[in-house]
């Protein structure tokens, strides 16, 4: 018996190549996730006789020549529709996270990711040509469905390839392309001021990902877990050869394991997450942690954007804050316990938001708000890794899909909570600050997963989580394969 990464390497040349091609998908995710900033920026207009609202306003087009607000008069009683279209988009991400998470556990990581990419490209391009608000919103929801699939499947592919030694650092680096895409979006919005061409551009750039059809590999863990042993052996030998590692023992060890365990194999499904008490408890707590994190991150970003002037500078600033969060995460997750960072990060984020509630609006509130956003993003980066380590391979994508689905619930309600601002300066920050405080308390019940090998089977998860502490990889006899799904 040996760990998979002892045979194919923890992080070799093949892993560098895999991370490069998978990380490219995060740029498109960022473009579509944050596109609403330039699709529906605040609009300035005038009405005849200085009226507040009218049917034929004259919009100020000095900054943006055409947006969904100016195209469909989303002002006055219709102003809520610009937030609604983003809520529907996030609902699509919610549905996609769950659908593609379950599908990838059943049909494989590679085919489901490719389908997600194709849907994202086609529906994104289609949305740029639609003539009315409702068709635009519905098709953009389908973009969100694909977006959700890409987010969770791409992360799991990377995590199932890299070894325990480098998993924590790679999980933090995985989010840097998203922040880079967030920052780059400011340049796209600056040079493309018409929303139709803007939407078309951020969709077409993803066409480069179609090379996944030829180059993207399946993960050996999933292949072994689903009895596709021969394919797993061939793939592992290719990876090992690319990493200049010996391949002689791979077939023997995989086949030996298969012969020893084939009688004990049992079917596993997403229902196992709810049948087993420890998995169910961890899933519920992690789901709320994801909801809280997404709710605060998108809410703070939306709230702070209304405290500053230039929209392009604001996007670069918030993106830079997220980039700092990614960099800060690397030493934190390398040298600190997962639970310690999640609990303390949520508590500090909550404190920042409560301070913002009672600090006069200005530079101080923006700075403190950005610190809160940075902390929220640090937690976001970490809980991706934490969740991956907490659930076995046979249901891992399903678990992350459910958690990501709950994160979308937080993102859906965040814009409406941020709109509490007219009712009082303190309302929105306090409403945002309560959730991470609750999350910090709940996360005290989660097990520690630092320096642990990824669990493979439901049986292994029951045994490890029953002790409330997953044994470190160096102390475990971890098998190279898993029970069949």
Which H, E and C letters describe the chain, residue by residue? Answer: CCCHHHHHCCCCHHHHHHHHHHHCHHHHHHHHHHCHHHHCCCCCEECHHHCCCCCCCEECCCCCCECHHHHHCCCHHHCHHHHHHHHHHHHHHHHHHHHHHHHHHHHCHHHHHHHHHHHHHHHHHHHCCCCCHHHHHHHHHHHHHHHHHHHHHHHHHHHHHCCHHHHHHHHHHCCHHHHHHHHHHHHHHHHCCEHHHHHHHHHHHHHHHHHHHHHCCCCHHHHHHCCCHHHHHHHHHHHHHHCCCCCHHHHHHHHHHHHHHHHHCCCCCCCHHHHCHHHHHHHHHHHHHHHHHHHHHHHHHHHHHCCCCCHHHHHHHHHHHHHHHHHHHHHHHHHCCHHHHHHHHHHHHHHHHHHHHHCCCCHHHHHHHHHHHHHHHHHHHHHHHHHHHHCCHHHHHHHHHHHHHHHHHHHHHHHHHHCCHHHCCCHHHHHHHHHHHHHHHHHHHCCECCCCCCCCCHHHHHHHHCCCECCCHHHCCCCCCCCCC
In a structure prediction context, what are the per-residue pLDDT tens digits for the chain, which is 485 residues long? 346 778 888 888 999 999 999 999 999 999 999 898 899 888 888 888 778 888 888 988 888 999 999 999 888 888 888 888 988 998 998 899 888 988 898 899 999 999 999 999 999 999 999 999 999 999 999 999 999 999 989 988 998 888 777 888 888 889 899 999 999 999 999 999 999 999 999 999 999 999 999 999 998 888 887 888 889 889 989 999 998 888 888 888 777 766 765 554 555 666 777 777 888 888 899 999 999 988 888 887 776 666 556 778 878 887 888 888 888 888 888 888 888 889 999 999 999 888 888 887 767 777 888 888 888 888 888 888 888 888 887 778 788 878 888 888 888 888 778 777 667 777 888 888 899 999 999 999 888 888 777 776 777 776 666 555 555 554 444 343 343 33
Q: Is-above-0.85 flag for pTM?
A: no
Q: Give 14's Cβ-side CA count (13 Å radius).
A: 23
Name the residue ranges covered by the structural domains of the chain.
Answer: 5-47+56-475
- Asked if 350 and 281 touch (Cβ cutoff 8 Å), the reply is no
Which residues, in sequence order, are bridge partners of residue 45?
Answer: 59
What superfamily does domain 5-47+56-475 belong to in CATH? MFS general substrate transporter like domains (1.20.1250.20)
């Amino acid at each position: 018996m040996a760990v998979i990464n002892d045979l194919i390497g923890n992080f070799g040349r093949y892993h560098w190549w895999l991370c490069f091609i998978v990380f490219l998908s995060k740029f498109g995710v960022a473009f579509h996730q944050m596109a609403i900033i330039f699709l529906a920026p605040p609009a300035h207009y005038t009405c005849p006789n200085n009226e507040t609202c009218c049917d034929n306003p004259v919009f100020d087009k000095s900054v943006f020549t055409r947006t969904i607000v100016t195209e469909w008069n989303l002002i006055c009683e219709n102003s809520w529709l610009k937030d609604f279209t983003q809520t529907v988009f996030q609902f699509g991400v919610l549905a996609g996270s769950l659908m593609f998470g379950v599908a990838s556990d059943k049909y494989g990581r590679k085919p489901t990711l490719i389908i997600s990419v194709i849907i994202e490209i086609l529906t994104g391009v289609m949305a740029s040509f639609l003539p009315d608000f409702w068709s635009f919103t519905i098709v953009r929801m389908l973009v969100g469905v694909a977006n959700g699939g890409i987010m969770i499947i791409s992360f799991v592919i990377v995590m199932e390839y890299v070894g325990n030694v480098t998993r924590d650092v790679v999980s933090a680096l995985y989010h840097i392309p998203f922040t880079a895409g967030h920052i780059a979006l400011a340049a796209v919005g600056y040079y493309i001021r018409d929303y139709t061409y803007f939407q078309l551009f951020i969709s077409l750039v993803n066409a480069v990902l179609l090379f996944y059809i030829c180059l993207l590999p399946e993960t050996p863990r999933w292949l072994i877990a689903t009895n596709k042993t021969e394919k797993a052996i061939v793939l592992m030998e290719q990876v090992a050869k690319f990493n200049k590692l010996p391949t002689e023992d791979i077939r023997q060890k995989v086949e030996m394991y298969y012969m020893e365990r084939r009688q004990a194999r049992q079917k596993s499904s997403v229902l196992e997450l709810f049948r087993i008490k420890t998995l169910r408890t961890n899933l519920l707590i992690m789901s709320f942690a994801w909801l809280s994190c997404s709710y605060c991150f998108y809410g703070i970003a939306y709230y702070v954007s209304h405290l500053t002037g230039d929209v392009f500078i604001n996007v670069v600033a918030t993106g830079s804050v997220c980039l700092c969060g990614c960099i800060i995460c690397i030493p934190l997750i390398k040298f600190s316990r997962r639970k310690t960072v999640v609990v303390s990060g949520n508590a500090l984020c909550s404190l920042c938001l409560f301070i913002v509630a009672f600090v006069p609006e200005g530079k101080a509130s923006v700075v403190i708000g950005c610190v809160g956003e940075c902390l929220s993003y640090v937690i976001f980066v970490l809980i991706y890794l934490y969740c991956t380590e907490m659930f076995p391979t046979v249901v891992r994508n399903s678990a992350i899909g459910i958690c990501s689905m709950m994160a979308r619930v937080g993102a859906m309600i965040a814009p409406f909570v941020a709109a509490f601002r007219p009712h009082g300066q303190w309302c929105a920050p306090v409403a945002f600050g309560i959730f991470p405080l609750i999350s910090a308390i709940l996360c005290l019940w989660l097990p520690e997963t630092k320096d642990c090998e990824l669990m493979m089977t439901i049986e292994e998860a029951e045994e490890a989580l029953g002790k409330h502490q997953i044994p470190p990889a160096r102390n475990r006899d971890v098998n190279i394969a898993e029970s069949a799904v």
